[in-house]
């Protein structure tokens, strides 16, 4: 209807310009038709809760307005300005209702304790992707703000849902899987990554926490020793003079040498079991093992600067650990 109306007015406007000059015949010829058009659209939109459909109508109206400005059909400028003025408040209201439904949701009534993406997350991901897709090339701040608000309320709900998991590890995995699903769905629609910075940042923070927690599960003593000792060793002119407890170092060397291969395999298994997205799991595995190597490299530096490596017969060189990690990671790449 919009296309027929726009074309009919354009044709009549050009005819009137040629034959009647600057006399505005639009109110006489199309005034009632334009009023009925606005009344019908406003009536339908007033009862619509389809935020995607409302945005589609907004995009059509805006495209029509821009096309008419290019043609110079001035008689329809006010018509489309009024139409957009009626549509935007409804879009804001319905988008707010979506966000408010997430805010008021009761986490205790929203399903079982699973690590996979929650069904609410799947709906939020599809809604976000649709709205951001429609905003491509439009870049309207009201759409951007609406999506950001929905994501903020969704994150609050996710944090409440995560509390249902009994372990810190389970809570982090749940959050990562849910953030990742939103990002994956939007990436599949070629959404500009800059539109999802808040979600990406939240996921990166949880991945970092997961990596630390996963490594603490196996080498908490070694990591704590490195964090405590490494700064003093790096700053010392003569590290050998530092009072580093050889007995502690010896116990850490033995602990690592007796378990490191098994730990690498366990980390592989954990990541495979926890993360539903293969690419995300691969990234987190690489980040976890890289962090393990970094901690152990700093531990090796402490050992070499403060003692002779030969002092500890079971000492494992970093190069050997790195080789094993590369070999083990091949099955995940």
SS (H, E, C) the chain: CHHHHHHHHHHHHHHHHHHHCCCCCHHHHHHHHHHHHHHHHHHHHHCCCCHHHHHHHHHHHHHHHHHHHHHCCHHHHHHHHHHHHHHHHHHHHHHHHHHHHHHCCCHHHCCCCCCCCCHHHHHHHHHHHHHHHHCCCCCCHHHHHHHHHHHHHHHHHHHHHHCCCCCHHHHHHHHHHHHHHHHHHHHHCCCCHHHHHHHHHHHHHHHHHHHHHHHHHHHHHHHHHHHHHHHHHHHCCCHHHCCCCHHHHHHHHHHHHHHHHHHHHHHHHHHHHHCCCHHHHHHHHHHHHHHHHHHHHHHHHHHHHHCCHHHCCCCCCHHHHHHHHHHHHHHHC
Give the lowest-confidence range in 17-21, 148-152, 189-193: 17-21
Give the pLDDT confidence score for residue 4 in this predicted structure.
56
pLDDT confidence bin for 312, thresholds 50/70/90: confident
Rounded percentage of the chain residues whose pLDDT exceeds 90: 62
57 has a pLDDT exceeding 90: yes
Give the lowest-confidence range in 37-46, 120-129, 184-193: 37-46
The tens digit of pLDDT for each residue in 58-105 reads 999 999 999 888 888 777 788 889 999 999 999 999 999 999 999 999
The whole model's pTM is what? Answer: 0.88
């Amino acid at each position: 209807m919009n296309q027929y109306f726009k074309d009919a007015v354009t044709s009549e406007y050009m005819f009137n310009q040629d034959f009647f000059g600057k006399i505005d015949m639009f109110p006489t010829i199309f005034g009632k038709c334009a009023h009925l058009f606005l009344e019908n659209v406003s009536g339908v939109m007033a009862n619509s809760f389809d935020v995607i459909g409302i945005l589609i109508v907004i995009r059509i109206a805006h495209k029509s307005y821009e096309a008419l400005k290019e043609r110079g059909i001035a008689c329809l400028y006010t018509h489309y300005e009024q139409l957009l003025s009626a549509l935007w408040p409804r879009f804001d209201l319905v988008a707010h209702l979506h966000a408010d439904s997430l805010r008021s949701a009761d986490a205790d009534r929203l399903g079982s304790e699973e690590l996979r993406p929650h069904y609410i997350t799947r709906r939020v991901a599809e809604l976000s992707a649709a709205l951001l897709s429609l905003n491509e090339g439009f870049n309207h701040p009201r759409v951007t703000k609406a999506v950001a608000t929905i994501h903020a309320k969704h994150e609050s709900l996710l944090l409440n849902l995560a509390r249902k998991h009994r372990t810190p590890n389970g809570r982090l995995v749940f959050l990562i899987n849910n953030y990742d699903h939103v990002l994956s769905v939007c990436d599949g629609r070629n959404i500009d990554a800059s539109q999802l910075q808040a979600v990406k940042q939240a996921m990166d923070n949880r991945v970092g926490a997961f990596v630390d927690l996963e490594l603490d599960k196996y080498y908490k003593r070694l990591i704590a020793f490195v964090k405590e000792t490494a700064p003093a060793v790096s700053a010392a002119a003569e590290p050998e003079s530092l009072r580093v407890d050889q007995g502690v170092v010896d116990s850490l060397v033995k602990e690592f040498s007796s378990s490191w291969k098994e730990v690498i395999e366990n980390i592989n298994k954990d990541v495979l079991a926890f993360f539903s997205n293969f690419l995300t799991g691969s990234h987190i595995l690489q980040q976890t093992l890289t962090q393990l190597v970094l901690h152990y490299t700093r531990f090796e530096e402490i050992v070499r600067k403060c003692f002779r490596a030969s002092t500890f017969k079971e000492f494992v060189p970093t190069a050997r650990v790195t080789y094993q990690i590369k070999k083990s990671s091949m099955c995940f790449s």
